[in-house]
Structure 1
Amino acid sequence: MTNPHQTTRYNPAELTDEELVARANRELLHTTVAYEELMRRYQRTLFNVCARYLGNDRDADDVCQEVMLKVLHGLRQFEGKAKFKTWLYSITYNECITQYRKEKRKRRLMDALSLDQDESEEVVESSINIVTDRASLDRWLVHVNQVDREILVLRFVAELEFQEIADIMHMGLSATKMRYKRALEKLRKSIDNPF
């Protein structure tokens, strides 16, 4: 008599994606054999898609790791209405867009912080590396007052235009731009002279 809790041995490479998804859903609390086979099948293409979309291997690798985690945690919700491959690339596409927007925010912040054309690119680059980490950005934002902090956050995190910020904060457009410029100068000084 066989034990119902005993898993039957199988060769994951011989199963279809759909069969692997079904097995992974049954096994995930105990083993990751089927999940690992799914990821092995798509790992190279997944990386290539990300690298081409994002333009560099470092970001592509980060996004691939994030996608694999989302698949691991989301596999139970996968209903099979679309092919697994379609679902996987939908997650990949969304993660690439998220990463692209993060990089875009970094570039906007770097452009804004590099107002002084005399500074070397290396100094600006090191400044931005400090600021782009969310915890570090929060640490630098304590150097500006609450209103200026809100303007900077709305501009760089929410990516709003100045008119939208002015409307939200019930300020005139020119006053908003002036506060933004002053807040940016304070932020740059605190980055250049951290102590």
Structure 2
Amino acid sequence: MALDDTTEELARDAAQGDHRSLGELLRRIEPDVLRHCAKFLPYHQDAEEACQDTLLAVARNIGRFEGRARFSTWLHIVTANCARTTYRTLKRRAAEQASEDLPDLRADPGRVSVIAGYRLDLLDAMEALEADKPDLAQALVLRDICQLDYNQVAEQLGIPLGTAKSRIHQARKYVQGILGDAYGPLA
């Protein structure tokens, strides 16, 4: 999400408690947040749910935005976390539905689209990484999902550049191992 300078300024004003700036900020970022959520979640309704959760999280937590990094960086992290949380909730609901022997009203995303199935498997792999090695997961999200450069990742995490690169490399190997089991060797 590349946000213009006006949006960055709105975020700084909103963080200082300006409610009008917050309203305008939320209006401006909504389309980008929805597009970003759709990268995580293959169903439009699920992406919309994650988008609304993200906007709510921004509104609730904007006071925590300190302005040390760009707002777009902070927003990427909030969006990724909300999308993953939405995914976990949907996964839990599906498991509960399956345990109640109710018919599944959704099509299997693995059958509907190879891309959609791969996205869900990637989310499962990210969830496993987060549970097992959260420091690696955070670095991977910043680099490969938020598309920050290595220096920005190191700065965001408050670690040396070499450590950031190492964590990203280890995280990629971890995820590739999980996806390799599902899809065969990854190039």
TM category, shorter: 0.3 to 0.5
Largest Rg, 1 or 2: 1
More helix, by proportion: 2
Q: Greater relative contact order (Cα 8 A, min sep 6): structure 1 or 2?
A: 2
